[in-house]
Amino acid sequence: MTIDKTFDPAAIEAKWYAHWESTGAFRPERLNAEPYTIVNPPPNVTGSLHIGHALDNTLQDILIRHARMQGKDALWVVGMDHAGIATQMVVERQMAERQQKRTDFTRDEFVAKVWEWKEESGGAITGQLRRLGCSMDWENERFTMDEGFSKAVIKVFVDLYNQGLLYRDKRLVNWDPRFKSAISDLEVETREVNGHMWHFKYPLAAGETYTYVERDADGIVTLEEERDYIAIATTRPETMLGDGAVAVHPGDERYKQIVGKLCEIPVGPKEHRRLIPIITDEYPDPDFGSGAVKITGAHDQNDYGVAQRNNIPMYRLMDEVASMRSDGVPYSEAAAQAKAIAAGGQWTAADIDALNLVPDAYRGLDRYEARKRVVADIDADGLVIAVESKTIQQPFGDRSGVVIEPMLTDQWYVDAKTLAAPAIEAVRSGAINVVPKSWEKTYFNWMENIQPWCVSRQLWWGHRIPAWFDKDGNIFVAEDEAGAQALAGEGVELTHDPDVLDTWFSSALWPFGTLGWPAQTSELDRHYPNDVLVSGFDILFFWDARMAMQGIHFMKEVPWKTLYLHGLVRAADGSKMSKSKGNTVDPLGLIDQYGADALRFFMAAMESQGRDIKMDESRVAGYRNFATKLWNAARFAQSNGIGGSQSISAPKAELAVNRWIIGEVVETVEKLNKAFAEFRFDGMADVIYHMVFDQFCDWYLELIKPAYVDGEKGEMDEESKTVAGWVLDQILVMLHPFMPFITEELWHALSDPTHPRKYDIIHAKWPAPNASADRAAIDEVSWVIETISKTRSFKAELNIPPGTRLTANIAAPQVSTAAIIERQAAALSRLGRIDQFVYSSVDTNNVAQIVVGDDTIVYALDGVIDLSAERVRINKAIEAATKERDALAGRLSNAAFTEKAKPEAVEKARADHAEKAAEAERLTAALARLG
């Protein structure tokens, strides 16, 4: 098959992908081979391929194709994530377009609609991953909500519950008022926003007063006055309605006199205002604000802790959309009940929760509207001390973008601390190898301070929590309702917990749930632990850490031996890509424009030690050019009768140029293997790029190019054809993990028609040349390259047309040089335009001279030469050589260096010095010869 003149990626990509997939190439039967496993981070079923996926999946595909070529039983597990909140959002948004909402349907109807959506519109990304060339095992594609996987999820829940590692608790959770659901700590992002801090007076009960004294650091009194109030600062006045106490630091002298007394919350109808105690707690910082803090246990994380420690009631003020509550008895009655409780009555958390302490006038108001009203009312009473403008740290839902409200609710929690301990140990002991290692510290820091993980979500789309309640609130956890009924006893009426599980709870099981667990399948046996997990560091806590915890807990073994973390792909200006900013780059557009191979190579070349990657389209274009270069090299090979090689071992070779290029292949394989062992993707790309461009195309192909004799193209020698064919094959194989499409195309195009390829390159064997570098060949080719380069160089600098043919004179050549010249005459003539070498001096000083190794080559020029330019040129070279010579001499004359430096370093310095000195000498002689 003749290779087309132009390289058109689109023309070959679809063809080869379809071929691989239809022939089962991604998962060859290799039951006796060493297993190699990667599980793909399941993309959201709603997702489409973004640039981050392109990076993540390219890296994995490089690893899996490499492993496959090493003959391993390479399995790349693929599937999709049901993505609870994200998917429910998408479907609800579509409903909204038709003036429908979720609650127009029953839960079952809604869930059925989501499934319908999933079947029709979900999973667009799988086609896009194929376009990128990813060689996943599509035959066994999984979904986090498919039957088998769901079974694993339920079992994990039940087991953790029975082991006491999962429990139901009423705590302050991050409540997302838009989704009307709890979310985990990780799903909250703190942003700095402009806000205010209000300073209010909380009047002391019954008009009491005290002497307020403030002192500076030296104890000098700076303020002394009678006060009938305690000053409180808050950024959230609307939560005052739920205050249970005012706290001061136990060592705060200013308030000692009034600790234990009562003060009044200055909001609401005056006749019903509540009194709250002034207590002490370590939490308040005497140096901040007034040093006194109002305690609203139900709406603030810090206050929650104080309230718990001091048994202060926590009054919930808001409803599920974070508006002020409007349920319950009228405020007057509620306030009376609260007063009774405060006076020492018996109360339970449920009693408190039922109590709505929002004054009637504020009921049903949005929290921010309520804030305005509260502030206005306090102001009207003259109790505002000051209003400060201030940037405050505010929690936002990472998906909803709305302000999170801490709320006291019943949720399910995983005892993450217990599960984290062995996961920490696994990294510490090296059972999990974190690459780059610098991420270990971040991992440890988070894991060591891990908090209980809230796993219940008040959504409809997801794994329904396998818990049932009787009417007294007793909990029965079992894999199904019958099991729960059995636990509860016959005839007990049960209600199924309406909540679903956090999406990450299920995806944490991905490394073993996809392999058939809880069944003990052979797949599970072979492919767990996985070999590598490739993930962006942005999901280190969300996903990676949780996989480590769940994997070790349920499988008694780490989920993967290596955790490779890569960075983010950023926009060209370094900013984060986001749809809202409109600065995203579509990987599919890049594939259309430059080809998947070019995009993949770009990703590999830019991936270095987990650093972020700045998008640079010109580099993608550069790697498209690289692919074109390879394409044309293959065309050249084909036109010279160079076909596919049938050999893994390097062919025998006599010619120096062939022995040299075989050595280059050997070296490239070694460097590539090292880079793979170290997960240095940029290193891999660099090595193969230079092998193809510099060694193979720029020199080797040029050196073996047949000469034209009388206008007729000469025939290439057989040895070079054989070697070139073998080298090109090794290049294609080594490049295949990075550029799968073009290499597969060329692999077949280059096959010898009489001996077609026995297999696709995707199954070719990774190079093992069984050869070594050849010193003599390297020296010979290096001499040729240097001579040609320097000859071209002086022509360019002296403005001599590059095509000018010259005779080279060497007065007294080294014996080895003469031999090289004799063998390489054709190459020197064609590439260096050197007609002949004459071993004598020239009788003119109208010359250009170059120094190559121990020889000075003199070119006599027919008056065309600008001697002053040649002097400048040689002087520059002398300067460079003497500078280096002198630097080395300086070092060598330093006794401290020769005595203390490593012997190899001294030896090398001596050798380099001798060489530079000789070169300087020769150049100086050359300059003198110009007269």
Site residues (CB under 7 A) for RNA, limited to 396-415: none
Q: Give whichever of 234 and 400 is closer to RNA, judged by the CB atom.
A: 234
> Count of H helices and E strands in the chain?
30, 33
The window from 336-344, 578-586, 630-638, 843-851 that contacts RNA (CB under 7 A) reads: 630-638
308 touching RNA, by CB under 7 A: no
Q: Give whichever of 167 and 444 is closer to RNA, judged by the CB atom.
A: 444
Q: Give whichever of 619 and 757 is closer to RNA, judged by the CB atom.
A: 619
Site residues for RNA, window 441-480 (CB under 7 A)? Answer: 441-442, 445-446, 449
Of 70, 418, 433, 789, the one binding RNA (CB under 7 A) is 789
Question: How near is the Cβ of 637 to RNA at its closest, in Å?
Answer: 8
The structure tokens 């193979």 sit at 696
352 touching RNA, by CB under 7 A: no
Applying CB under 7 A, the site for RNA has a residue count of 92
392 touching RNA, by CB under 7 A: yes
438 touching RNA, by CB under 7 A: yes
293 touching RNA, by CB under 7 A: yes
Q: Give whichever of 6 and 94 is closer to RNA, judged by the CB atom.
A: 6
693 touching RNA, by CB under 7 A: yes
DSSP of 180-243, one letter per residue? TEEE-GGGEEEEEEEEEEEEEEEEBGGG--EEEEEE-TTS-EEEEEEESEEEEEES-GGGGGG-
Please calculate the CA angle 51-440-556 and round it to the nearest 5 degrees. Answer: 95
138 touching RNA, by CB under 7 A: no
Contact 873, 922 (CB under 8 A): no
Q: Give whichever of 293 and 656 is closer to RNA, judged by the CB atom.
A: 293
283 touching RNA, by CB under 7 A: yes
Q: Give whichever of 415 and 698 is closer to RNA, judged by the CB atom.
A: 698
* Cα within 13 Å of Cα(94), Cβ side: 13
Site residues for RNA, window 45-104 (CB under 7 A)? Answer: none
| Pairing status of strand 35-39 against strand 73-77 | parallel
For 7, other C-beta atoms within 10 Å of its C-beta total 23
Question: How near is the Cβ of 864 to RNA at its closest, in Å?
Answer: 14
236 touching RNA, by CB under 7 A: yes
For residue 264, what are its two tokens? 């009044």
User: How far, in Å, are 78, 312, 357, 399, 478 from residue 502 at the CA level?
Assistant: 20, 31, 32, 14, 18
Please, which residues bridge with residue 394 across strands?
191
The window from 115-123, 349-357, 716-724, 896-904 that contacts RNA (CB under 7 A) reads: 896-904
The window from 66-74, 526-534, 581-589, 906-914 that contacts RNA (CB under 7 A) reads: 906-914
Contact 756, 646 (CB under 8 A): no
Site residues for RNA, window 162-191 (CB under 7 A)? Answer: 185-186, 189-190
288 touching RNA, by CB under 7 A: yes
Of 407, 613, 827, 828, the one binding RNA (CB under 7 A) is 613
901 touching RNA, by CB under 7 A: yes
597 touching RNA, by CB under 7 A: no
DSSP of 255-296, one letter per residue? GGGGTT-EEE---S-GGG--EEEEEE-S-S-TTSTTSEEEE-
Of 368, 708, 759, 839, the one binding RNA (CB under 7 A) is 708
Question: How near is the Cβ of 699 to RNA at its closest, in Å?
Answer: 8
Site residues for RNA, window 555-584 (CB under 7 A)? Answer: 572, 574, 576
Angle between helices 718-735 and 617-639 (to 10 degrees): 150
> How far is the C-alpha of 709 from the C-alpha of 692, rounded, in Å?
28
Of 129, 204, 233, 515, the one binding RNA (CB under 7 A) is 233
> How far is the C-alpha of 365 from the C-alpha of 771, rounded, in Å?
81
Of 382, 430, 801, 863, the one binding RNA (CB under 7 A) is 801
The window from 33-41, 162-170, 417-425, 705-713 that contacts RNA (CB under 7 A) reads: 705-713
Of 64, 424, 701, 920, the one binding RNA (CB under 7 A) is 701
353 touching RNA, by CB under 7 A: no
896 touching RNA, by CB under 7 A: yes
For residue 645, what are its two tokens? 């090689």
619 touching RNA, by CB under 7 A: yes
Contact 33, 68 (CB under 8 A): no
Q: Give whichever of 115 and 283 is closer to RNA, judged by the CB atom.
A: 283
Question: How near is the Cβ of 669 to RNA at its closest, in Å?
Answer: 19
886 touching RNA, by CB under 7 A: no
Task: Tell which residue, 729, 714, 724, has the closest CA to residue 660.
Answer: 724
Task: Say which residues have a Cβ less than 8 Å from residue 185's Cβ, sequence separation at least 6.
Answer: 174, 451, 454
Site residues for RNA, window 911-930 (CB under 7 A)? Answer: 912, 916
Contact 783, 817 (CB under 8 A): yes
Question: How near is the Cβ of 225 to RNA at its closest, in Å?
Answer: 19
Distance of CA 695 to the CA centre of its chain: 33
Question: How near is the Cβ of 393 to RNA at its closest, in Å?
Answer: 5
> How far is the C-alpha of 2 from the C-alpha of 25, rounded, in Å?
25
> How far is the C-alpha of 226 from the C-alpha of 907, rounded, in Å?
87
User: How far, in Å, are 450, 654, 708 from residue 714 at the CA level?
Assistant: 73, 20, 5
User: How far, in Å, are 485, 698, 718, 768, 820 from residue 658 at the CA level?
Assistant: 79, 15, 11, 17, 14
796 touching RNA, by CB under 7 A: yes
Contact 294, 232 (CB under 8 A): yes
Q: Give whichever of 777 and 881 is closer to RNA, judged by the CB atom.
A: 881
Task: Say which residues have a Cβ less than 8 Å from residue 528's Cβ, sequence separation at least 6.
Answer: 37, 511, 512, 515, 517, 555, 557, 559
Site residues for RNA, window 637-676 (CB under 7 A)? Answer: 639
Question: How near is the Cβ of 303 to RNA at its closest, in Å?
Answer: 8
Q: Give whichever of 480 and 670 is closer to RNA, judged by the CB atom.
A: 670
- Please report, as a single letter, which amino acid is at residue 609: Q
Site residues for RNA, window 532-551 (CB under 7 A)? Answer: 541
909 touching RNA, by CB under 7 A: yes
Q: Give whichever of 569 and 656 is closer to RNA, judged by the CB atom.
A: 569
Q: Give whichever of 30 and 833 is closer to RNA, judged by the CB atom.
A: 833
628 touching RNA, by CB under 7 A: yes
For residue 532, what are its two tokens? 């590598």
482 touching RNA, by CB under 7 A: no
Contact 694, 631 (CB under 8 A): no
Q: Give whichever of 233 and 739 is closer to RNA, judged by the CB atom.
A: 233
Of 622, 648, 818, 869, the one binding RNA (CB under 7 A) is 622
Question: How near is the Cβ of 655 to RNA at its closest, in Å?
Answer: 18
900 touching RNA, by CB under 7 A: yes
Contacts for 88-93 with beta carbons within 8 Å, 24 or more apart? 88/114, 88/459, 88/460, 88/461, 89/179, 89/399, 90/46, 90/117, 91/117, 91/461
Of 485, 584, 608, 846, the one binding RNA (CB under 7 A) is 608
302 touching RNA, by CB under 7 A: yes
Q: Give whichever of 372 and 908 is closer to RNA, judged by the CB atom.
A: 908
Of 251, 756, 803, 863, the one binding RNA (CB under 7 A) is 803
Question: How near is the Cβ of 160 to RNA at its closest, in Å?
Answer: 22
Question: How near is the Cβ of 313 to RNA at its closest, in Å?
Answer: 18
Question: How near is the Cβ of 536 to RNA at its closest, in Å?
Answer: 11
For 802, other C-beta atoms within 10 Å of its C-beta total 9
